[in-house]
Amino acid sequence: MITVVHCLAIGILVFWCGKWLVHAMAITYGKLKLHKKTNGVTNQPRETPYPTVSILKPLMGVDPNLASNLETFFLMDYPSQYELLFCIECPDDPAIDVVNRLREKYPNIETSLLLGGSDVGDTLTDMVNHMTERVGLVHQMPFVCDREGFAAAFEKIYFGTVQSRIYLCADLLGINCHTGMSCMMRKDVLDELGGIQAFGCYLAEDFFLAKGFHDAGWKLSISSQPAWQNSGICDISSFQARLTRWAKLRVAMVPGTILLEPLSECVIVGMFACWAAKILFRWNPLVFFLIHTLFWFLSDWVLLSIIQNGSLPFNKFTFFVGWAFRELSGPYLFFNALWNPAIRWRTRVYKLAWGGVAYELTSQIKS
């Protein structure tokens, strides 16, 4: 006789199988999609010339690696013209000096420094090549550079497993997963949507920009090259604060995240699945959970290796420790985000309404 408990167990196992399908899709799609040379890079002729590109780079404050990170924009290998638009709100921001030094160093690159605000490699070539006829917005999957220390390994493990798994599957299924790390969009479509100012009420304006393109009938696509982050501040507490802030954004933008995200964690879904397997098949729950965790661990190692596209800067033991720490701390950070929904970014504090609209609570920017 099938009882309510049996139906619940079946539903849990179906969801658990779906999570493994996500693993398989991410690994397969990542292997096929990432780090591939597009037709423009292999010197094959294009039917249309490369367009002129404007790169918008908002800045606020200075971190230890800002100069070297910004310099990569001046050194890009792109067969056509591009311009750099540096946007800084405060006229006394120290980032202005960094930008001006780079502009003097590379006078052949067309640049503009835009001040003010209101309260409202061949990477570029690769992104342009992905801007096909029906694609309106191309974005890059976030990843991190190789750095020393456990905190750096922890960051790389997160972006190469949890983040990339969802990112790749969402792109494969045509779901909006844009995080705003790096993107290219059609200006005429953006103008039709009301321009950038139309999305100024959102703290995660990148997600809603992509949503606007998608709702207008345009496809979204990730490029084959990830966006390599090189933050000057690398420690566990700072990164966990970022993870908590992102969780708050996801909850406000997609309320279903409150239920689905905790159930997507290895430990939580594994515990539910081993209970369901015991109810339906009388399997040993401890053995089931250990096998589940082992295969999850191995799948994440394979996916991270694909994203890295080379040897990892740490050994398997460091990966195990970092992976276990991420899996055990993930649910805590998520529930902590639910407990305190206010978001601190730089020197400002925001509160999000349902739907992602941001309201500033305090402002500590000096005039």
Q: Are 138 and 202 part of one and the same domain?
A: yes
Using CB atoms within 10 Å of the CB of residue 3, give its burial: 0 to 12 exposed, 13 to 18 middle, 19+ buried. exposed
Q: Are 89 and 99 part of one and the same domain?
A: yes
pLDDT higher than threshold 90 for residue 253: no
pLDDT higher than threshold 80 for residue 40: no
Confidence of residue 273 (pLDDT cuts 50, 70, 90): very high
Q: Are 94 and 212 part of one and the same domain?
A: no
Any domain includes 104: yes
Give the residue from 64, 94, 129 where a domain finishes.
Answer: 129
Any domain includes 44: no
Name the catalytic one among 126, 206, 235, 300.
Answer: 206
Which range marks the domain in which residue 250 is found? 4-38+130-363
Q: Are 228 and 344 part of one and the same domain?
A: yes
The mean pLDDT of 112-124, rounded to a whole number, is 73
Q: Are 250 and 277 part of one and the same domain?
A: yes
Q: Are 145 and 292 part of one and the same domain?
A: yes
Q: Are 287 and 153 part of one and the same domain?
A: yes
Q: Are 234 and 206 part of one and the same domain?
A: yes
Q: Are 146 and 286 part of one and the same domain?
A: yes
Tokens 């790390």, located at residue: 181
| Stated pTM of the model | 0.80
Greater model confidence, 292 or 53 = 292
Sign of the alpha-carbon dihedral angle for 234, 235, 238, 239 = positive
Span of 146-160, 225-239, 284-298 with lowest mean pLDDT: 225-239
pLDDT at residue number 300: 98
Spatial contact of 282 and 263, defined as CB atoms under 8 Å apart: no
Give the residue from 129, 164, 189 where a domain finishes.
Answer: 129
Classified as helix, coil or strand, 97 is: helix
Q: Are 15 and 112 part of one and the same domain?
A: no
Residue 357 CA: distances (Å) to CA of 93, 226, 330, 360 = 27, 28, 25, 10
Q: Are 225 and 299 part of one and the same domain?
A: yes
Any domain includes 348: yes
Residues 6+ apart with CB under 8 A from 27: 299, 302, 303, 306
Give the residue from 129, 157, 185 where a domain finishes.
Answer: 129
122 noted as active-site residue: no
pLDDT at residue number 51: 85
- Could you report the per-residue pLDDT of 302-328, keeping only the tens digit for each? 999 999 999 999 999 999 999 999 999
Q: Are 117 and 148 part of one and the same domain?
A: no
Any domain includes 43: no
Q: pLDDT averaged over the chain?
A: 89
Spatial contact of 137 and 183, defined as CB atoms under 8 Å apart: yes
The mean pLDDT of 238-255, rounded to a whole number, is 90
pLDDT at residue number 312: 95
| Most confident of the following: 50-64, 142-156, 337-351 | 142-156
Count of the separate structural domains present in the chain: 2
Confidence of residue 365 (pLDDT cuts 50, 70, 90): very low
Any domain includes 13: yes
